Chains A and B, each alone.
Chain A
Amino acid sequence: MVDVTSASVPPVLAPPVLAVEGLHKSFGSNEVLKGIDLKVAAGERIAILGSSGSGKSTLLRCINFMETPSAGRIALDGTSIGVEGRGGAITARSGELRRLRTRVGMIFQQFNLFPHMTVLENVMEGPVTVKGMNRKEARATAQDYLKRVGLSDKAEQYPQRLSGGQQQRVAIARALAMEPEILLFDEPTSSLDPELVGEVLDVILGLSKEGRTMLLVTHELGFAYHFATRVLFLHEGRIHEQGTPDEVLKNPREERTQAFLRRFSAFHF
């Protein structure tokens, strides 16, 4: 009998906050995900790597049902989302999806801030409209989160006055304001000018110190190394290799992973 209260129990034995089983996703005849199995324990930080078309963004988008899985199962805290419908695709009620999305936040490559709202209103929007929090309380929380991403002084600005890096930090604050259990980052720095990448990565690294469960799709290998507790390498819709950052990024076993990493280290100076 395993003593589950003991601190020596490895975290993988704890019930996974997120479980993905046999996940398939096709767009028309194009099968992008070909069976993904993934268990995520609370507090894990997972970096998802892979060349374009490997399915890494699609995997992330299936987790909060931005894309509906063609087959398979997504479970949060052991509870499956939706039911298997015709042909294996999952059908979920809209109310269930809304609850899922308040628990699983997402940050997009293109920030997608609401341009008709100020920075503060962007962050307040979820708590007020979705959670029904009163405006005064929501304002205070929003200001807290803006402080966390270092943008207190921009609260009354409209997003288009902000740099890309600042916009992405607001988007992170907007997601945090919903107090999600899991955060999904979909290439959060890919559309930023190189000199703005650092400020966003700093914020994400700051979050990782708080023990949040996070999944991050990225091309920033150096960042993935410092950020992640586990690295997944996706190839052609499957998890090709996974392990600690040291295992996958420094000593990859698979040839595909090695080839992928070589392309990133082509230039040394």
Chain B
Amino acid sequence: MNYTFQFGEILANSDLLLRGLKLTILLFAIAFSGALVCGLFIGLARGSALRVPNLIATAYIEIFRNTPVLVQLIWFYYALPALSGWQPSAFTAAALGLFLNTSAYCAEIWRAGLQSLPAGQWEAGRAIGMSEWQLLRRVAVPQAFSRMVPAFTNRGVELAKMTSIASTITVQELMYEAKMLSTQTFLPLETFTIVAVIYFVLIYPGTLAAYALERRLNSKGA
């Protein structure tokens, strides 16, 4: 064990890593916010008694959950243009893939969360004349959301790490820049140690914030 870590050279190039970090955060923000919203609607379709929406939502969820996300990204970047004639940029393909993948997981979280609501709550809302949309917005989501926060947090953490896969389709996010840097400097140990620290510093505060949100929601009445 006489390897001497040489962090100096990597830190001198930290602007490259920070540039990558910006794209990582952008990928995460687009995919996660989109998936939270889109997941609600897929989750509603999945929980619906209507045959066709239910079938479509189920197929969607199972396809995205049961194939590797790496394959999905490659498919959106290489196969989709061949089929549709539309060539998305690497970033668009990655954002799309991560968004659709995470939507599938979020849909299941929404469905389970909304189904955990006692039947009496839906009935009480209907009995005063609420529409299904009003019920969702005023009664179901506010109550179910606090119970879903831990699951969404998990999903967010997974997604933040999953963004690194975008490097394989040449999105110049943090992992991509790290690979470049490590081959230029021949210092992979140092590079990836620093990258690990960056991912941790990026993700861990989010986890802490989610814990705080969970505590706040749980203390408020429900």
Contacts and interface: CB of A to CB of B under 8 A. Distances in A.
Interface string A86-130: 000000001001111110011010101111111000000110011
Contacts of A159: 221
Nearest to A113: B124
Interface residues of A, number: 31
B219 to A, nearest CB: 11
Contacts of A129: 130, 134, 138
A66 B130 CA distance: 13
A94 B128 contact: no
A158 B120 CA distance: 17
A159 B128 CA distance: 18
Interface residues of B, number: 21
Interface string B102-143: 000000000000000010110111111111101000110011
B120 A114 contact: no
Contact of B124 (A64, A114, A160): A114
A178 interface: yes
A94 B120 CA distance: 19
Given A108-B120, A108-B123, A112-B121, A175 B128 contact: yes
Nearest to B143: A116
A101 B221 contact: no
Interface string A155-196: 000111000000000010011001000000000000000000
A238 B133 CA distance: 36
A197 to B, nearest CB: 20
B122 to A, nearest CB: 9
B129 A116 contact: no
A158 B221 contact: yes
Contacts of B123: 66, 108, 112
A118 B222 CA distance: 10
A101 B128 contact: yes
Given A94-B132, A116-B221, A66 B124 contact: no
Given A94-B131, A130-B134, A158-B221, A112 B126 contact: no
Given A94-B132, A101-B128, A108-B124, 11 more contacts: A94-B131, A99-B129, A106-B127, A115-B143, A116-B220, A116-B221, A117-B221, A118-B221, A126-B130, A158-B221, A160-B221
